[in-house]
Amino acid sequence: MTVNGALNWASSFLEAQKAEWEKPAIEWLLRHHLQVSRSQMFMMMHDEVEPEVFAIFCEDVKKYSEGMPVQHLIGYEEFYGRQFKVSRHVLIPRPETEELVVAVLQKKQELFSNSCAVSVLDVGTGSGAIAISLALEDAQVKVAAVDLSAAALQVAKENAVHLGAQVNFEISDLLQTPMNSGQKFDIVVSNPPYIPNGEKATLAVNVREHEPHLALFGGEDGYDLYRRLVRELPLVMNERGLIAFEVGAGQTKEVASMLREAFPHATVERVNDINGKDRIVLCYGDLH
């Protein structure tokens, strides 16, 4: 079986199974087993695949056809140019969340002097993708991260060690642990669960069956976690700072309204992602 033949077999198999699939995922899976880059794989199209490698690839394609995310099969996802370990205990980092990291880094430069250390809290850190990326991209930020799931925090800690990031991880139900210990932060960033409970059936099977519901669903209307965060935020924010949320498409108006009510002296900004969807809400300036 050649590399090209393996890819064609996978495509034909998935078509026959009427599975939800994407061609890049199959290429990614085969590259993982061959341990080659995408350009290397295309140069190897007529090379033979070792029988034992093809056998493992076939098993993984079958699991993929049943809805298992390719990231779980290979064990990682790329985020902000780095490989993050993922598992069924954490949400797989999405490309649009990279834009939240960019927005935080840019606004941080505008709001704070380059000479001062800036404290950052990532709420609901999951794999640690946001917290670790911020820590590695800006040496002046001191990053803490919290999550309700001990299993998720273990994944995040492993990613921090592997990538060489200094992040302080703690278990917390949203902001309860920082509130109880009297901690204050200059920046709070969060990508909380925001899918309405009623939309569960509409999700792709790889999301619905393999990603943690704790990290997906935000109550009947999707806003439960934002309501709680906005109530708790005044107790952990320094007087001048930045709050940055990722939200579901179409949710920025409601979340911006919550923030304006809680922080009437601050500037609230709704930001579209690269695809033109409203995905980010920033609240910055005077937070008291």
Establish whether 67 is an annotated binding residue: no
Establish whether 113 is an annotated binding residue: no
Q: Is 111 exposed, middle or buried (0-12, 13-18, 19+ CB in 10 A)?
A: middle
Q: Is 1 exposed, middle or buried (0-12, 13-18, 19+ CB in 10 A)?
A: middle
Establish whether 193 is an annotated binding residue: yes
Whole-number Å distance between alpha carbons of 122 and 120: 7
Establish whether 80 is an annotated binding residue: no
pLDDT, one tens digit per residue, over 182-232 is 999 999 999 998 777 766 666 666 676 656 666 666 667 779 999 999 999
Establish whether 192 is an annotated binding residue: yes
Establish whether 191 is an annotated binding residue: yes
Q: What is the largest CA-CA distance in the chain?
A: 66
pLDDT, one tens digit per residue, over 84-142 is 999 989 999 999 999 999 999 999 999 998 778 999 999 999 999 999 999 999 999 99
Establish whether 126 is an annotated binding residue: yes
pLDDT, one tens digit per residue, over 50-61 is 999 999 999 999
Amino acid at 108: K
Please give the CATH topology (third level) of the domain spanning 85-286.
Rossmann fold (3.40.50)
Helix, strand or coil for residue 119?
A: strand
- Give the start-to-end residue ranges of the domains of the chain: 3-66, 85-286
